[in-house]
Amino acid sequence: MQVPLFATSLAPYHERIAERVAEVTASGRYILGPELDAFEREFAEYLGVGHVIGVGNGTDALTIALRALGVGPGDEVVCPSLTFYATAEAIVNAGARPVFCDVDPETACVTAETVRPLVGERTKAIVPVHLFGNVAPVPELRDLGVPVLEDAAQAAGATLGGARAGALGDAATFSFFPSKNLPCIGDGGAVTTNSDEVAERARTLRFHGSRDKKTHTEVGYNSRLDSVQAAVLRLLLPELDGWNERRRAAAEAYERAGIGEFVTPLRPVEGAEHVYHLYVARSDDADDLAAALSERGIGARGYYRTPCHRQAPMREYASGDLPATDELARTIIALPMGPELGADQAAAVVAACGARAAA
């Protein structure tokens, strides 16, 4: 059985997407128009936050949010190294210095214990990553007394203690890249916050440091979620919870089929409702397993084999050992996941793991 790594498809929505795109085209309102305004309101209501600011992509969202929180040259921002490079890249692009922390080896998320020793006088923010659809323990991090910016790119719809990712910290960022739980059909991102001040500055920064196109109060960016992407996101947002339920059902199907006999799945953070952007587990021979599964037509691959602090442009910021990060970078493997992954496919993946173990 062929099982793709990303078991998701927008094919059932193509006709409706085309209709929405045609409506935007006919409207002539392509940038900062009513579709974006409506999506920002609807996503804010879904998350339970006061403000959503649509921007060009998830990386810009991080940089803009950091600056909106007051981060700049000379500041330090604590973040995990086990994450997509954009998390650290955005900190540098905001003029600050990333300070890399370790993660919990069972959840792959930062904790107050991994962050606390690195918080100092120059620390201006903490950026926990809700990795793979899990939710980092943001309330514990806020107790450290430093603004918390959630990187929720992989966790749209996830919750912690009943509150949604994106509504837990001082601000948060999302990516709507096509492979994400809430996708658009290109690049797209958003900043979320309950702070009027942070929201106002983020809106200014996304539009060349201006609110009126005439007066520029600072050097900003040209980074706006366009009307086509906003229209698509409005169409797909009502589907998000159902898609996430199917992702959780797929994770349960893996457990019932006995995946734990062959790999060690990462554990959800206590109180979190995981949304399984990816189904990730640990294996001492992860790369060999991924290769064996691929030979059997099953998508699987390692993630973040070279964590951020070991990437060449970030080595100058690296200091101290990150043993859990290095071990996870060596051992994690992503198995097929998505709302289209059925119990039969999950069982086929587990059977393939078993066949490989018996070979």
pLDDT value for 127: 98
Distance CA 119, CA 140 (A): 14
Question: Residue 104: its pLDDT value, please?
Answer: 98
Residue pLDDT tens, the chain, 359 long: 899 999 999 999 999 999 999 999 999 999 999 999 999 999 999 999 999 999 999 999 999 999 999 999 999 999 999 999 999 999 999 999 999 999 999 999 999 999 999 999 999 999 999 999 999 999 999 999 999 999 999 999 999 999 999 999 999 999 999 999 999 999 999 999 999 999 999 999 999 999 988 999 999 999 999 999 999 999 999 999 999 999 999 999 999 999 999 999 999 999 999 999 999 999 999 999 999 999 999 999 999 999 999 999 999 999 889 999 999 999 999 999 999 999 999 999 999 999 998 87
User: Which structural domains are found in the chain, ordered by start?
Assistant: 11-238 (3.40.640.10), 240-358 (3.90.1150.10)
The tokens for 171 are 């601000």
pLDDT of residue 41: 98
Give pLDDT, residue 359. Answer: 77
